[in-house]
Structure 1
Amino acid sequence: MNFIYINQNILDNLFYILVSILIYYILLDHGKRLSQYVRTLITACMSIPIILCMKFPIYIDEYCVHDLRQIPFIIGTLYGGWPVGSALLVIILSFRFAFYGFNLLTLIVYIVIFIITALFSSKFKNFNRKNKLNSSILLILCLGILTSFISLAMSDHFRITEAYVFYFIILPPFIIGLAVYIMEILKDAIIIRTQMIRLEKMEVVSQLAASISHEVRNPLTVVKGFVQLLKAPDLTQEVREQYIQHVVRELNSAESIISEYLAFAKPALEKVENISINREIGYVIEMIKPLANMNLVTISNQLAPGITRGNIQHFKQCFLNLIKNGIEAMPNGGELNIVSYVNNFDIIIEISDNGVGMNKEQINRFGEPYYSSKEKGTGLGSMVAVKTIQTMNGTLHLTSALNKGTTISITLPVYQEDHSGK
């Protein structure tokens, strides 16, 4: 093979073909509406390199001009079948005759290429990647030889030169092999990514279902047991009241779990209002102090005034979960420090403990459904907290070290009322 034939014109033609393939798969992957019009899309994307290849051809010698228009034409017909092939045939002949004038031999050659390729396309679509690669190379090689014999038979001026053999017989199989290989790689990548997204969604659903069923079953089992005990005829009123209190407590526990799940599942906040950071977090601290005292945990706070926007109930539930996590991370007691301050247009809230800490995996999986660093945890509390902060256009950053403690830093946007009267 004489490599002096590889010139800029060939590289330009190759560039048109490969870029059009990439554009086709980018549009197919990111344009959900366009994916419904695959044949129209591939027709448009393959017609561009056809036109550009003819507009900027390969000059073999002073008597012969060639280009690689047949490659996008064959690719479009193989992947799109008769409809795409017919449209591309009209495009290729229309622009060919517009650029260089009518030629009967060109008309016959491309009709032959279209018919053979279209007939083969139905089998081609069912091949695996290896067979598609081999069959496309063999097809274009056979078509090159066949159309060369047709040209020899119909034209007295047609000559087969060394340059012609290289450009029309040898080079196209390499290029179409590369093009088909890239198309198959990109198609498989899109399919694999779609399957992964579907599997991730199914995994989240299964994790949530398992989490809810597991947590709700425990209080319901307790309720069932006490209801059975209530059937005893010799119960005193005092014992009966105790059993009923246990039943109510466990039902409230089940209701709380379901409420946390619903808070996570809601796509948006129901009621958005001004939230005073220092006031609402102060309420949460007062609510949770009994639990902190039971666990020998001291809560200290430095809360600067600041206003953000969101749902107050969800906000308090979010910080209740985060502060409760901090308390439970110190089974032998310790100190929990809560600080808030305003930094330009953001409110920063930091919750720090000196508890057991978290490893790298626990940090990365914080907020995942059905994942918790606690032995009996479900991950729902952390999941609800992360969801609430995201809904309020905030961010959550977590730093931790084993046996040293954890610091959760929440950033929320400052709400500034417009007093201009506009």
Structure 2
Amino acid sequence: MAFITEVMIMNILSIFASLFVFQIWLERSSHIRYAKTKAIFGFSAISILWCMVFPLDKFDSFILDLRQVPIIIGSLYGGPIVAVGLFLLTLIARYIFFGADGYLTFLLMYLLLTPILIYFSRKFLQLTLKRKIIRSTMVSLGFSLFILVIITLFNSSHLDANLLLKLVIFPPVSMGMIIYIVEIVLNNYHLRQELIKSEKLAVISHLAASISHEVRNPLTASRGFMQLLQQGYTSPEKMRTFLDIAIKELDRAEGIIQDYLTFAKPAEDKKEAINVSSEIKKIVEILQPLANMNSVELDFSLAPYMVFGERSKFKQCVINVAKNAIEAMPEGGKLSLHIERKGDYVYLNVSDTGVGMTKEQVDRLGEPFFTTREKGTGLGMMVVYSIVDSFGGKVKVKSEKGLGTTFTILLPMYKNAVEVIG
């Protein structure tokens, strides 16, 4: 009896372990329905095989175990495709583990169970928790009673309290417990997703007020210069100056809006292999006029590494970091962009010789509204962190007040590909 109790615990713990792994996967997956279906099948299959390897009891041609629990749960939550897949898996595993003895009886039982599970799975996810527990428990109890009838017909001498415990009581009770835990896991996941969504909406709402103020300033300045030009009393030289200033202010407003839109609603652009060196060359060309205007020397070294993601977002991410670095050197200085590989990651180091930051400022980088500049909004760094996260990468920052700052962007290398730059 002690062995039976130990095996029962091993069976139920194997199912709980699969649930735990499923919860971790749920938090880190892309949440595509097809991927979820495969995950439900995979975790259910592991539990089924474990239960078959460690059965509760064996006599004649019958093997008693808890495989029906993961079969029923996987089928009800995964749908018809998972139900058929688990049925076929169980058929194959039953033959491999226990041979042909009693196989036809086993086949008959599961040929009856699978269509029932497919029928109930269609509206199972829309049921309340109470109804889910009742329905799944009743299916398990009905299947257990069906097995009990077959065993009794073959050999009634096996009918005792121990058999009733292992076959009629333990599986349905386990079913109800596990369904309850599954629902807790799923409800917690959905609550976390709603919390994340509401927090992001709150941040966007606060940012909208900041954006309207930041955009109004350059628009007001541009309007003033346009009014001066409209009066026609300015010299050609001043007209060019006014137009240059107005264009720069409008560009500034456009940049603020673009940063906001990228953070609020990231665009689903085409993902592709990106030659980091080629993009850095283009970025340096874009930054060169700004660097010259601020007496900043640009230094860069290239290496032929590839990453995978959205090209426009990669460019925007690096430009945001580099622009911040240039603006952190009001008296001029040196900006270095260096690429290297460490393990399976491409390291992009952006270093400046600017004013630097304190540890407290570094720790707050990427937070809403936080900026080290008088006229900044903090949007640029928020976008940087958001984009790097979408690439599956990380951002590391080292800085010392008065000595400068180094941003290190770690991005996963694309299939260890190396492309020679011409």
Structure 2: give runs of 5+ residues left out of the alignment. 263-268, 304-314, 342-348, 410-422
The aligned residue for residue 52 of structure 1 is 50
| Equivalent position of 2:397 in the other structure | 396
1:86 pairs, out of 67, 84, 87, with: 84
d(CA) in 1 for partners of 2:386, 2:35: 36
1:160-212 CA distance string (max 9 Å, x none): 21111211122213322343234334444554566667667777877777666
1:119-134 alignment, distance < 5 Å? 119-134=119-134
Distance in 1 between the 2:238 and 2:258 partners? Answer: 30
Could you tell me whether the CA contact under 8 Å between 1:54 and 1:67 is conserved in 2?
yes
Counterpart Cα distance in 1 of 2:229 and 2:293: 37
Distance 1:43 1:315, change over 3 A: closer
Secondary structure, counterpart of 1:176 in structure 2: helix
SS in structure 1 of the partner of residue 406 of structure 2 = strand
The counterpart of 1:67, out of the listed 65, 90, 98, is 65
Offset of 1:82 from its aligned partner?
3.7
Letter aligned with residue 253 of structure 1: E
Question: SS of 1:410's equivalent?
Answer: strand
1:322 is matched with 328
Contact 2:14/2:50, CA 8 A, preserved across alignment:
yes
Deviates more, 1:122-131 or 1:69-78: 122-131
The aligned runs of 1:110-149 (5 Å cut-off) are: 110-149=110-149
- The one-letter amino acid of 1:88's match is L
Please show how residues 242-321 of structure 1 align to structure 2 within 5 Å: 245-246=241-242, 248-258=244-254, 270-272=279-281, 317-321=323-327
- SS of corresponding position for 1:396: strand
Does the residue aligned with 1:272 lie in a helix, a strand or coil?
helix
Structure 1 residue 252 displacement after superposition: 1.8
Aligned to 1:332: none
Any gaps of 5 or more consecutive residues in structure 1? 288-302, 328-335, 400-404, 414-422
**Kindly tell me: are residues 282 and 139 of structure 1, through their superposed partners in 2, closer, same or farther at Cα, counting changes over 3 Å?**
closer
Alignment of 1:15-414 (within 5 A): 15-22=13-20, 35-36=33-34, 38-39=36-37, 41-59=39-57, 65-97=63-95, 99-100=98-99, 101-102=101-102, 105-149=105-149, 151-152=151-152, 154-157=153-156, 159-191=158-190, 214-228=213-227, 231=230, 236-237=233-234, 245-246=241-242, 248-258=244-254, 270-272=279-281, 317-323=323-329, 351-352=354-355, 364-368=363-367, 370-372=369-371, 377-380=376-379, 395-397=396-398, 409-410=405-406
Rounded to whole Å, the distance in 1 between the matches of 2:11 and 2:131 is 25
TM-score (norm 1): 0.61
CA contact (8 A) 2:221 2:249 kept: no
Mark the CA change 1:55 to 1:319 in structure 2 (over 3 Å): closer, same or farther: closer
Structure 2: how far apart are the matches of 1:389 and 1:286? 29
Q: Distance in 2 between matches of 1:142 and 1:68?
A: 14
Q: Report deviation, 1:157.
A: 3.0
Amino acid at match of 1:86: V
In the alignment, the residues of structure 2 paired with residue 30 and residue 42 of structure 1 have an alpha-carbon distance, to the nearest angstrom, of: 15
- Could you report, residue by residue, the CA deviation over 1:258-282 in whole angstroms, capped at 9, with x for unpaired residues? 457779979977443999xxxx999
**Distance in 2 of aligned mates of 1:228 and 1:221:** 11
Work out the percentage of aligned pairs sharing the same amino acid: 26
State the distance in 2 between where 1:161 and 1:389 align.
Answer: 63
CA distance 1:14–1:366, shift in 2 (3 Å):
same
2:176 corresponds to which letter in structure 1?
G
The 1:388/1:129 distance shift into structure 2, 3 A limit, reads closer
Question: Which residue type is aligned with residue 179 of structure 1?
Answer: I
For the Cα contact (< 8 Å) 2:41–2:74, is it kept in 1?
A: yes
Contact 1:27 1:34 in 2 (8 A): no
Structure 1 residues 109 and 386: CA distance shift in structure 2, 3 A? closer
Q: How many residues align?
A: 367
**Does structure 2 conserve the Cα–Cα contact (< 8 Å) formed by 1:394 and 1:410?**
no
